[in-house]
Amino acid sequence: MNIHSIPTKPFNDQKPGTSGLRKRVPAFQQPHYLENFVQSIFDTIAAPPGATLTLGGDGRYYNREAIQIILKMAAANGFGRVLVGQGGILSTPAASCIIRKYQTYGGIILSASHNPGGPDGDFGIKYNTANGGPAPEKVTEAIFANSKKISQYRILQALDIELDAIGESDIGGMQVQVIDPVVDYADLMASLFDFNAIHGLLNSGFRMKFDAMHAVTGPYAKEIFLNRLDAPADSVMNVVPLEDFGGGHPDPNLTYAHELVEIIYGDNAPDFGAASDGDGDRNMILGKHFFVTPSDSLAVIAANAKLAPGYAKGVAGIARSMPTSAAADRVAAKLGIPCYETPTGWKFFGNLMDAGKVTLCGEESFGTGSDHVREKDGLWAVLFWLNILAAKQQSDAQQLKARQSVEQIMMAHWAQFGRNVYSRHDYEALPSDAANGVMQHLHASFNQLTGAQFGRYTIKTCDDFSYTDPIDGSVSTGQGIRILFSDGSRIVFRLSGTGTEGATLRIYLEAFEPDVNQHHLDAQVALAELIKIALQISELTKRTGRDKPTVIT
């Protein structure tokens, strides 16, 4: 066997963020850069000889090259088998599904999620553990520690491996099994949702449009919506995955998914719209001329979960990230089940799901999911909404034309539970010093702000969110500044952990509105006063020179 130990030096900037290590493509293309990080993963996880690894990515630029390097390093590091998606492709939820279904030791996922791709775009890599979920902080910290003292990595000298044909090959005594990236995932979806009912809905004149944004979900959407559910061909768009996502920003929100948004707010709009991101774990849900916030989407799914066969027994509990609105908390209270508030990032949900404490979880950042895998899951959320719409249509079949629209479902939900009016304002690419200055200033103002009154709002408490994991007792601090008002409204300030350019400051705004007559209001209008307070107490304009967010969701 031709295993080489290559001498190398640490890079010192390989600290995984909210979701793995993300850098610009040229950073990953530096000699030894990817190899150092992969060796640091292998040194940390210490897989037993002969272990099986899952491997795949979202197909962005540099995916194929990285897959080849990782396969050769896995062979040199004693793995016995790697399950790799055909063409090097696996959506993030599909990778989680494969790790769990075939009980592999862990998995490596190549993705920078919703960040743009291409030669000057972003690339990323993360490790998922045997439960299918992102490695917990103690593992990512150990990977970082190893990356700072690495002196060599191991790699097999071999020709590139054929990735485009399904089948098995051998490199240096390690089996490489190229698998269909879609089928296991599509089977899992069919086991959770009422495909007959959705089939009926999609063939009854109800029109949907799913935008894969030229990212990884294209083949998954084609198989599920067109092949298995027989939806008309124009139910999907941008389904050909491209290495640079067609130059777009594959983030399913009102700003970046504008092509879909124009269709859904245009004339003759479809009844239902949805989009997913670069690696398939995010989702956006739209109705005709209507946007569902991710926080509300989680609440609606929770309230209607029993309509889907896979959730007919009910929901054990719900978890949401701290900045996500408390809409789900209201549903949990009604159902008499617990609702957990965790720090930002999917990795905090894994322990709760493994312990059977929660079934559903979600983040305001267009992430929704359940314990069927250990990642958020874009197409799963889309299918859940279609299942709910189909079930409601069926139960109203006697009353002619009583089909409920997305908007009607949302309005009925708010009438029952009240509305947590919600918006997030992002200030992207700020100079790091200025962004840190805003956070430090807020920190230093806690005493002064407590009890302060701003118009109809009074600040009850301020804190920096920290979380003690109820399962393993691990503590995560510095997870975002919370300004909590006496009426339950909130402003949260947080610095992004996924950006690659300067700093991104996120301001999360939430106000509770019980009055049905106010539920139709635009969120920006309803939140205007809180937005002003956020700018005032943070001194944002003075400190950053910005007076408007770059993205509003």
Residues that bind ligand G1P (CB under 6 A): 18-19, 113, 321, 344-346, 363, 365, 367, 496-498, 506
Residue number with CB closer to ligand G1P (172 or 497): 497
Sign of CA dihedral 68, 72, 77, 82: positive
Told to judge if 474 belongs to the known catalytic residues of this protein, a careful annotator would answer: no
CB of 55 to ligand G1P, least distance (A): 20
Applying CB under 5 A, which part among 107-115, 192-200, 234-242, 494-502 lies near Zn ion? 107-115
Q: How far apart are CA 333 and CA 312, in angstroms?
A: 19
CB of 323 to ligand G1P, least distance (A): 7
Residue number with CB closer to ligand G1P (496 or 544): 496
Strand order in 360-363's β-sheet?
A: 339-342, 318-321, 360-363, 367-370
Write out the two tokens for 552: 């509003």
Under rule CB under 5 A, residue 58 binds Zn ion: no
Site for Zn ion in 275-304 (CB under 5 A): 277, 279, 281-282
Question: Residues 113, 129, 235, 420: which binds Zn ion (CB under 5 A)?
Answer: 113
Residue number with CB closer to ligand G1P (325 or 498): 498
CB of 18 to ligand G1P, least distance (A): 4
Cβ–Cβ < 8 Å for 125, 37: yes
Residue number with CB closer to Zn ion (109 or 409): 109
Under rule CB under 5 A, residue 371 binds Zn ion: no
Which option in ligand G1P, Zn ion, none does residue 277 bind, with CB closer than 5 to 8 A by kind? Zn ion
Q: Is 286 helix (H, G, I), strand (E, B) or coil?
A: strand
Cβ–Cβ < 8 Å for 120, 244: no
| Beta carbons within 8 Å of 104's beta carbon, 6+ residues apart | 51, 52, 53, 54, 83, 98, 130
Q: Is 284 helix (H, G, I), strand (E, B) or coil?
A: strand
CB of 379 to ligand G1P, least distance (A): 16
Q: Is 424 helix (H, G, I), strand (E, B) or coil?
A: strand
CB of 495 to ligand G1P, least distance (A): 8
Residue nearest to Zn ion (CB): 113
Applying CB under 5 A, which part among 108-116, 205-213, 237-245, 316-324 lies near Zn ion? 108-116
Closest CA to 20 of 46, 47, 57: 57
Residue number with CB closer to ligand G1P (353 or 459): 353
Strand order in 551-552's β-sheet?
A: 453-454, 457-464, 481-485, 490-495, 503-513, 419-430, 551-552
Which option in Zn ion, ligand G1P, none does residue 19 bind, with CB closer than 5 to 8 A by kind? ligand G1P
CB of 217 to Zn ion, least distance (A): 10
Applying CB under 5 A, which part among 111-119, 148-156, 182-190, 506-514 lies near Zn ion? 111-119
DSSP bridge partners of 468: 475
Which option in ligand G1P, Zn ion, none does residue 18 bind, with CB closer than 5 to 8 A by kind? ligand G1P
**CA 294 to centroid of chain Cα atoms:** 11
Number of residues that bind Zn ion (CB under 5 A): 5
Residue number with CB closer to Zn ion (35 or 122): 122
Q: How far apart are CA 138 and CA 140, in angstroms?
A: 6
CB of 108 to ligand G1P, least distance (A): 17
Q: What are φ and ψ of residue 278, in 5° steps? A: -50, -45
Which option in ligand G1P, Zn ion, none does residue 279 bind, with CB closer than 5 to 8 A by kind? Zn ion
CB of 281 to ligand G1P, least distance (A): 7
Under rule CB under 5 A, residue 510 binds Zn ion: no
Residue number with CB closer to ligand G1P (18 or 351): 18
Residue number with CB closer to ligand G1P (286 or 507): 507
Which option in Zn ion, ligand G1P, none does residue 378 bind, with CB closer than 5 to 8 A by kind? none
Which option in Zn ion, ligand G1P, none does residue 497 bind, with CB closer than 5 to 8 A by kind? ligand G1P
Q: How far apart are CA 28 and CA 64, in angstroms?
A: 13
Looking at 19, 113, 321, 489, which residue is catalytic?
Answer: 113
For residue 541, give the H/E element and its range.
Answer: helix 540-544
CB of 46 to Zn ion, least distance (A): 28
Closest CA to 179 of 85, 49, 43: 85
Cβ–Cβ < 8 Å for 254, 553: yes
Q: How far apart are CA 392 and CA 404, in angstroms?
A: 7
Residue number with CB closer to ligand G1P (52 or 115): 115
Summarize the chain as % helix, strand, coil (round to 5): 35, 25, 40
Q: What are φ and ψ of residue 168, in 5° steps? A: -115, 145
Which option in Zn ion, ligand G1P, none does residue 91 bind, with CB closer than 5 to 8 A by kind? none
Which option in Zn ion, ligand G1P, none does residue 325 bind, with CB closer than 5 to 8 A by kind? none
DSSP calls for 77-131 = TT-SEEEEEEEEE--HHHHHHHHHHTT-SEEEEE--TTS--STTSEEEEEEE-TT
Helix then strand count (H, E) for the chain reads 19, 27
Strands 419-430 and 52-57: unpaired
Which option in Zn ion, ligand G1P, none does residue 500 bind, with CB closer than 5 to 8 A by kind? none
Which option in ligand G1P, Zn ion, none does residue 96 bind, with CB closer than 5 to 8 A by kind? none
Under rule CB under 5 A, residue 377 binds Zn ion: no
CB of 113 to ligand G1P, least distance (A): 5
Residue number with CB closer to Zn ion (100 or 282): 282
Continuous H helices in 248-373: 258-264, 294-303, 327-335, 350-354
| 170: alpha, beta or left? (left if phi > 0; alpha if psi -120 to 50) | beta
Catalytic center residues:
113
What residues make contact with Zn ion under the rule CB under 5 A?
113, 277, 279, 281-282
